[in-house]
Structure 1
């Protein structure tokens, strides 16, 4: 009886975790999909950009655009976002307007934003990840500077 209970517990735990994805798995799963546009701005490019403009601690940007993808890929992307469970990230914004959904998540370590991820589904599906050592005050400043412009 004890053995059966242990086996049942293990099965239930593994089923609860099945279907959940982490952020890196999400990017890796869709980066190589047909017709997904992938743009990666690495550390060297960001250092070069810092010569001409303030980068605010950003050292990498990755963008996946699903505009040219088949509807099936877009639906899998939407499902993957619904199943996204990554304890390293916390949601700071979640918006739902008509059929468009946007979610902004951050990974904060030692009072610095290490990653900011923007997930959008609806008319323009996209996945954007900004990596670096970003001060929350810098992010607030950028948001306030652009408030009401869009």
Structure 2
């Protein structure tokens, strides 16, 4: 009887903890509906249209991108910004590798990526400073293109 109760308690705790963990998609859904929050999602169709007007090199980079999500809370109330900061700093990094973390004055930026076989599947930039925001790029982006993009712009 003791083992059954212990097993059930352990199972309940595991399920509760797994349901409590939020992903980046969850935080976008939660805060995109807040008053004065700005949320833009570019799907594959919009990205294909953008590729038509891009240079050959840029089009090759964009080919692997499936969607881009941008959440900006610049115009939101301070309470919403603070709630976003708390949620963003507590987010689980499950499946994502922390690439960079920068804290300067009031700004705190974290960059995550899900990298498999030299391809980036999910790229997330979270800023929890004065103007909180979250940028998420999903797709299969060649790591060589990303490295070239970074070196060209730094």
TM-score by length of 1: 0.86
Partner of 1:48: 49
RMSD: 1.8
State the shift of 1:128 in Å. Answer: 0.5
Secondary structure of the structure 2 residue equivalent to 1:50: helix
Within-5 A mapping of 1:1-150: 1-14=2-15, 16-17=17-18, 19-53=20-54, 54-55=58-59, 56=61, 57-147=64-154
The alignment of Structure 1 onto Structure 2 pairs a total of residues equal to: 147
After TM superposition, which residue ranges in structure 1, 4 or more long, deviate above 6 angstroms? none
Secondary structure of the structure 2 residue equivalent to 1:9: helix
Gaps of 5+ in 1: none
Contact 1:46–1:60 (CA under 8 A) maintained in structure 2: yes
TM-score by length of 2: 0.84
Larger deviation, residues 51-60 vs 67-76: 51-60
Distance 2:100 2:14 in 1: 29
Distance 2:125 2:81 in 1: 16
